Amino acid sequence: MTDKAHINNASGLSERVGTAKMRLLVIALATVAVVVHAMDLDPDLVQSALRIARVEHDIEELAHDIEEAGKIDPLGFFKEMHARLDHYEGRFSRFHLRLAERSL
């Protein structure tokens, strides 16, 4: 398979996945609309409930991200970056450093 054919095939797959997600979203919204109408619920209250559910989901994601961020050791991160920079600084000659100074 050529690169171009592979890219076209991959983009077709992403379009199908996007279309499938869109169909599910439309079905879910239609179901909510039918339930709201059948149960004679106030649409504003339903909309608020959906927003609250979305915000709760966002808060859970943020809590997870904060927990993951807490696992990073700031001093260890600094030492690792310093070691990497030291490794790369040794690769450049004085000529390269002079060129860099002139470009500033």
Mean pLDDT, the chain, whole residue set: 76
Report the number of distinct structural domains present in the chain.
1
Residue 31: is its pLDDT beyond 60?
yes
Q: Is pLDDT of 65 > 80?
A: yes
Domain extent, residue 28, equals 1-40
Query: Per the domain annotation, does 92 fall within a domain?
Result: no
Q: Would residue 99 count as lying in a domain?
A: no
Q: Are 88 and 80 in contact (CB under 8 A)?
A: no
Place of tokens 């059948």: 38
Cα(75)–Cα(55) distance, integer angstroms? 34
Mean pLDDT of 66-71: 89
For residue 48, tell me if it sits in a domain: no
- Tell whether 7 is covered by a domain: yes
For residues 6 and 61, the model is more confident at: 61
What are the pLDDT digits (tens) for 38-59?
A: 888 788 888 898 899 999 999 9
